Amino acid sequence: MTPVNVSYSAFSSVKSAVQPDYLPKQRDRQNPNAWDALYLDQAIPVDQFAKGCMVRDLQNWTRSYLLIPIKVIANILLALIMTVKRFLPFQFSHYWLMHHAASWFLKTFVSPEACYLIVRHICLGSNIVNFLIDNGPDPTIEKSKLYPHTVDDLAKNAFLEHDLILYNFVFDYHEAQKKNSNWLKELPKQTLNFDSIQPVQVEIDFEQKSWFRGLDLESAIELFKVFYSLCLTSEEFERAVLSLEFDENFGCYFSQLTGDYSWNHVITNRHPLAPESPFAAARNLLLHGIITEYLHRYLELRKEMQTAGNAGVDAPSHALTDAG
């Protein structure tokens, strides 16, 4: 079956021909549905199509019945791998095997909703980094071109590239700030450039389901982190785990640009100087994905308000107050 091209946008309601929007059940005041309430709540704005995928994923039976035993088994295996690799007189890695195994694993065992969110996350990360470059101290810093459209595209070293883009951006941004020490003083005179905050295309076939293809997102991450640690050197795996706690730093970068610190409380991956244990990596990666969704939606709303202001149109009054 040909994959369906699912496009989503902050500025228009785009629905998939295969995967309908999340449809809440008929309300029962004596027995309210917690998942429907979570989906309908707009306290923290999130792309609605992506949120529908998240809520479906949270209701997945594997999350209810398999996640806890998967966590136990995965962490035992992770402890063994990390211990053995620390004592080996040499280190080894195999990026090709890691990425092709990940692509196969996702297509074979993981739900379409989880696959959609994973591919989408890589694209949103590129949008976010490119926005910071466009508005930062040096707009000539090399931008991210990492925009996978399918699960197969992830086999092209997407996960490794995603981490390298983040760390190289931090180095480049630091150097640019040193060379242009007065750039923050010029910010109030400039209009923010939102060209990089654009819809991305993700091609997932939501009809291709089977008994095997049913793992929820967090269970899938728990399992694959074990193979990830095996295919990377100890230093590379440590770097990948630490990258999840840079969310707080990136939140500060954005607040510098926008002058708005009211939404930073939604960032829960904090304190990279006091790193979390690698055994919490799967949970932190799940939170990292959610925080990325919050941040990207916030930037979409800022773009919407700026565009409306330039056109002389009143922007929705709830657009940013809800984000805080």
- Rounded Cα–Cα distance for residues 18 and 155 (Å): 25
**What pLDDT sits at residue 321?**
47
Q: What are phi and psi for residue 263, nearest 5 degrees?
A: -105, -5
pLDDT of residue 211: 78
Six-digit token string for 202: 């993700």
Which helix (H) or strand (E) segment holds residue 120: the answer is helix 112-135
Q: Does residue 42 sit in helix, strand or coil?
A: coil
What is the per-residue pLDDT for 314?
Answer: 56
pLDDT at 163: 97
pLDDT value for 17? 34
Q: Which residues pair with 6 in a beta bridge?
A: 202
| Confidence (pLDDT) at 6 | 38
Q: How many CA atoms lie within 13 A of 107 on its CB side?
A: 15
- Please tell me the predicted confidence (pLDDT) of residue 184: 87
**What is the reported pLDDT for 24?**
84
Residue 297 phi/psi, 5-degree rounding, is -65, -40
3-state secondary structure of 202: strand
Helix ranges (H only) for 23-60 are: 34-40, 48-58
Per-residue tens of pLDDT for the chain, all 324 residues: 333 333 333 333 333 434 557 888 888 899 999 999 999 999 999 999 999 999 999 999 999 999 999 999 999 999 999 999 999 999 999 999 999 999 999 999 999 999 999 999 999 999 999 999 999 999 999 999 999 999 999 999 999 999 999 999 999 999 999 999 889 888 877 789 999 999 999 999 888 777 789 999 999 999 999 999 999 999 999 999 999 999 999 999 999 999 999 989 999 999 999 999 999 999 999 999 999 999 999 999 999 999 887 776 655 544 454 444
Contact 141, 174 (CB under 8 A): no
Residue 104 CA to residue 99 CA, distance in Å, equals 9
Instruction: Give the span between the Cα atoms of 103 and 151, in whole angstroms.
Output: 6
What pairs with residue 201 in β-bridges?
7
Closest CA to 146 of 167, 131, 160, 132: 160
pLDDT value of residue 312: 66
Start-to-end CA distance of the chain, whole Å, equals 42
Q: What is the pTM of this model?
A: 0.89
**Residue 38 corresponds to which tokens in the numbers above?**
């979570």
Res 138: pLDDT: 96
Alpha helices, DSSP H, located in 136-260: 158-179, 183-186, 217-231, 234-243, 247-258
Question: What backbone phi and psi angles, to 5 degrees, belong to 203?
Answer: -105, 105
pLDDT tens digit string along 259-315?
Answer: 999 989 999 999 999 999 999 999 999 999 999 999 999 999 999 999 887 776 655
